[in-house]
Amino acid sequence: MKPSLSCAGNALYTVVAFVETGFASRLGLHPSSKNTLDSAALLSLIKALPDAAKGAGGGAAACARVFPALGNKAAFAGCLGNDSLASLYKKDMILAGISDYTLQKDGYSGSFCALIEPGGIRTIAVNPGIATSINPELIDASFYNPDATLYIDGFLSEYPETIMAIVKKAVSAGMRVALDVASFSCVKKEHNLFLDLIRNYCSWTFMNEDEFNHLAEGSVDTALKAFSKEAPGTIIVKRAEIGAVCVSDGLVLESAVRPFRAADKTGAGDAFAAGFLSAALQGAPLARCLRLGNRVAELTLKTQGFAIDSESFRQAVKAVI
C-alpha cells in the first residue's frame, strides 16, 4: 500500500516572482520584510506580476503537492473563499494528484506573495483571508483515513480549538499525527498548546532551530535529548544550510547537506517533511528518512516557483530507500 498523507492547513494561493532590485521598495515594502496587506492590495500586486509562478500553497498544501511526486498519495483540507483564486487553487491541487477536501465560505481566499530580488533578497506580502476559518466539523469524514497519516500545519494554532479538534478527530480515527510547527510567532503565542500537541499526540514533529530553542528553552546541541524524553514521537529540527537533526527513543542522528546556491526557498521545509515522511512511512531507518528529506528539499531549493520534477524526486527515492 502506498504511503498516504491527509494534510490540513491554511490554503494560500501562492505567487513567487523574481523581480529587479528595488521592486519591493517602490511598493513601499522594506526589502526582506514580511508584510500583511489587505486583500485588494495583494490582489492588485498579484495582477501586476503576470510572469510569476502561481499555484496552490500554504505549508500543508506544499507538503501535499510534493508527496504524490514521490510516488505516494495525498489529500488536503483547508478553507477557501468564493472567488476566482479559489477556482485556481482547487484546479491546481487536482492537477497535482491531490484529493481535494477544501471547504468554501463567503470572503476572500488567502494569498501569499514572495518577491525575490537579485542576491536572494526575499520580501513577503500575505493576506490570510478566509484561510484561518476552517471548520473541522465540515471536513468530510473520509479525510480521516486510518490508513493515512495526518500532517497538520502549525499556523492553524491561531485558533487553538480548530487545530486540537482536527488532531483529536485524526487520533480517534486511528491515524498517526505529524506536526509542522511552522512559525516562531505561533510558538511564542501558543507555547503550551504546542507542548501539549508534541507530548501527547504527535508521532513526528518538524520545527526549525528558533522554534525548538523557544519550546525547549535551550539550544539544539544541549537540550534535544532532554526535550525528547517528554515527547514519545520523533523530533526533527531543520537547521537550514547545516542540514537536519532528529531524535527518537533517545537516539540522535544528524544529516548534513551539500553547500549550493538556492534558487527559491519557498516550500523547502514542507518538501523536507514530505521526503522524510515518505521514507518513514515505508519503514526506512531514521538516517535514510533524514537523507531523503534533505535530498527532496535540495531539489526544491534548486527550482523556481512551483516546478516539481517528479522523475528527479522518484530517482531520489530509489537512491535512498
Instruction: For residue 31, name the pLDDT band (cuts at 50, 70, 90).
Output: very high
How confident is the model over 148-171, as a mean pLDDT?
97
How many folded domains does the chain comprise? 1
Looking at the domain assignment, is residue 37 inside a domain? no
Looking at the domain assignment, is residue 124 inside a domain? no
Helices (H) and strands (E) counted in the chain, each on its own, are 12, 16
How confident is the model over 165-171, as a mean pLDDT?
98
Looking at the domain assignment, is residue 20 inside a domain? no
76 contact partners, CB below 8 Å, separation of at least 6? 6, 7, 8, 9, 11, 56, 60, 61, 64, 93, 98, 99, 100, 101, 102
Q: Which residue has the higher pLDDT, 119 or 144?
A: 144
- 3-class state of residue 198 by DSSP: helix
242 contact partners, CB below 8 Å, separation of at least 6? 256, 257
Q: What is the structure's pLDDT at 259?
A: 67
Q: With beta carbons less than 8 A apart as the criterion, state whether 274 and 66 touch.
A: yes
Tens of pLDDT, residues 60-113 = 999 999 999 999 999 999 999 999 999 999 999 999 999 999 999 999 999 999
Quote the cell numbers at residue 153.
500545519
Distance CA 239, CA 148 (A): 28
Residue ranges making up the domain that contains 200: 4-8+59-103+132-320
Q: What is the DSSP letter of 140?
A: -
Tens of pLDDT, residues 10-19 = 999 999 999 9
Tens of pLDDT, residues 208-235 = 999 999 999 999 989 999 999 988 899 9
Mean pLDDT, rounded, of the chain: 92
Phi, psi of 133 (to 5 degrees): -100, 20
Q: What is the CA 180 to chain-centroid distance, rounded? A: 7
Q: What is the structure's pLDDT at 306?
A: 65
Looking at the domain assignment, is residue 36 inside a domain? no
How confident is the model over 28-33, as a mean pLDDT?
92
How confident is the model over 108-126, as a mean pLDDT?
92
Looking at the domain assignment, is residue 32 inside a domain? no
Instruction: For residue 200, name the pLDDT band (cuts at 50, 70, 90).
Output: very high
Looking at the domain assignment, is residue 30 inside a domain? no
Cα–Cα–Cα angle for 85, 34, 184, rounded to 5 degrees: 105
227 contact partners, CB below 8 Å, separation of at least 6? 212, 215, 216, 218, 235
| CATH number, domain with residue 223 | 3.40.1190.20
pLDDT of residue 236 exceeding 80, the answer is yes
